[in-house]
Amino acid sequence: MISGIIRRKVASVLGQSVPRIRSSVSGPRYYRKTQKEAFLAWQGFEYVQSSSYHIFLGGHAHSNPREVAAIFQTGAFARSRNRSFSSDNGDLIEAVVPFMGESITDGTLANFLKKPGDRVEVDEPIAQIETDKVTIDVVSPEAGTLQKFVAKEGDTVEPGTKIAVISKSGEGVTQAPSEKAAAQPLPPEQKKSVEKQTPKEETAPVKEKIKEPSPPLPKAKGASSPPKATASEPQLPPKDRERRVPMTRLRKRVATRLKDSQNTFALLSTFNEVDMTNLMKLRSDYKDAFLEKHGVKLGLMSGFVKAAVSALQNQPIVNAVIDGDDIIYRDYIDISIAVGTPKGLVVPVIRNTEKMNFAVIEKEINTLAKKANDGSISIDEMAGGTFTISNGGVYGSLLSTPIINPPQSAILGMHSIVNRPMVVGGNIVPRPMMYIALTYDHRLIDGREAVFFLRRIKDVVEDPRRLLLDV
């Protein structure tokens, strides 16, 4: 009823038809006097519909139905609040930082993969966000031309932060001048005008007086020469031969976790050596048939994973972890595989390895290693893990003491295979030998269990038939 009165009042003032207005909620009122009448508008008008084009207090109401969240009368126009667009015609699209995981709140804008003016396709990566654990791509939501970046490299960004603006039509995109265009000579007309504007320099030679070298001044009595640096003083390298580079978030995270591991655990390492003859012969005999049937190569890592599963089942305390004043025994075996990448160390997890055979383990290792190296590994694929295997032998390491990956309690270190003389059956023969190391938390695991654990791995690797017989 009130809205009908308002419509009639406004129509009498303007002398034209006014569209029907339906109020959704009541709210604070805004007043604007027009000669002798006052116009009332409630915050929360929901729809404005009309079949013609009307003048509405200096604003306009179009014939097409439009959803309006609120109408505010300010000055000589009516402003509507509804769903925001990047542009009036929807040509500009914003690329934002995606959701990065429940445990990740922000990241660092590492680098841009595209430049303003480049053509991008749907879901094509345009920037990379570096987090404490993984590198995440920011992709283009629509196909178009990259107009500009609204963030800089090195900025700390959160999910939903705008990174770039993309134009679907390519309008308004300024191309950077190419080097060829900058190197092109000026036209003759412009060249002549430039020459005219440049004042001519005097060509008359200027004779300069040749300064004679002044005779050396006599040394004052009592003056001493500067002291010479002695051989014992350290000679520091010049600063111009040093570079200061900020640490990446992944490197800082790795450094923090490893130092926390040193400060928290009572680290102790025990060692043994393994004769790799039988495992290497098993791989050599069946590698072709294995590849033909399963589509993946048979490596040595799957043998050590199976040996670790057997050892963890024989010594469950190695698979446990301290939590406050309690010990948590885990009845599942998730083995983490340490992978070194150009960006840092990542540790993907193979879950439920106690239920896997050699082929499934090899496939999982290959898949996770590829994802880790190309930076596409996810947070979920690195979360958890009850035991870690680190293979430093691929880099030529002969012996090392690995550091525990929290919140685990032990880590197995594999090393390079070297032919060494060994006594077999009373004879000295060359054998391919590998040193293995187990670093464990001595607060939880005693030396007896640690040695038994390492001996079980040695027995299974040296005689893989034990896995079939479970002995």
Catalytic residue positions, numbered? 442, 446
- For 426-470, strand residue ranges (E) read 427-441
Strand bridging mode 344-346 / 339-341? antiparallel
Residues 367, 369, 371, 372, Cα dihedral to 10°: 160
**Cis preceding linkage at 407, omega within 30:** yes
Q: DSSP readout, 117-159?
A: T-EE-TT-EEEEEE-SS-EEEEE-SSSEEEEEESS-TT-EE-T
CB 438 within 8 A of CB 410: yes
The rounded distance, in Å, linking the Cα atoms of 458 and 453 is 9
Query: In three state form, how does the secondary structure of 184-242 look?
Result: CCCCHHHHHHHHHHCCCCCCCCCCCCCCCCCCCCCCCCCCCCCCCCCCCCCCCCCHHHC
Widest distance between CA atoms in the chain:
120
CB 404 within 8 A of CB 427: no
